[in-house]
């Protein structure tokens, strides 16, 4: 059984896998897909800005910064 994790619950160094997309508009979902954030993709939280937004993640072979609100459209599974 898979337990879903909220993006805001992840801390620096945590790893997660994208298992789907939650409530986000289709335009932004396509933007996430274009950035390589597809189902099954694993990433790691690198760091957060001092006020918590944006968040830098390491996905595949590159770094990507996401706003917390934008990342809330992702359904995640925390990895060990």
pTM (two decimals): 0.82
Pairwise CA distance, residues 65 & 57, whole Å: 6
pLDDT tens per residue across span 2-36: 578 888 889 999 999 999 888 778 888 888 888 88
Q: List the domain boundaries for the chain.
A: 4-79
Pairwise CA distance, residues 38 & 21, whole Å: 9
Pairwise CA distance, residues 25 & 61, whole Å: 27
Pairwise CA distance, residues 8 & 36, whole Å: 20
Does 69 score more than 90 pLDDT? no
For residues 70 and 58, the answer to whether their CB atoms sit within 8 Å is no
CATH superfamily of domain region 4-79 = Ferrous iron transport protein A (FeoA) (2.30.30.90)
Distances (CA, A) of 78 to 2, 52, 61: 9, 19, 20
């Amino acid at each position: 059984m898979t337990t879903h994790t909220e993006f805001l619950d992840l801390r620096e160094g945590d790893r997660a896998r994208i298992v789907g997309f939650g409530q986000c508009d289709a335009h932004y979902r396509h933007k996430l897909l274009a950035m390589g954030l597809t189902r099954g993709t694993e990433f790691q939280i690198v760091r957060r800005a001092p006020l918590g937004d944006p968040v830098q993640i390491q996905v595949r072979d590159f770094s990507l910064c996401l706003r917390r609100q934008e990342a809330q459209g992702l359904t995640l599974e925390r990895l060990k």
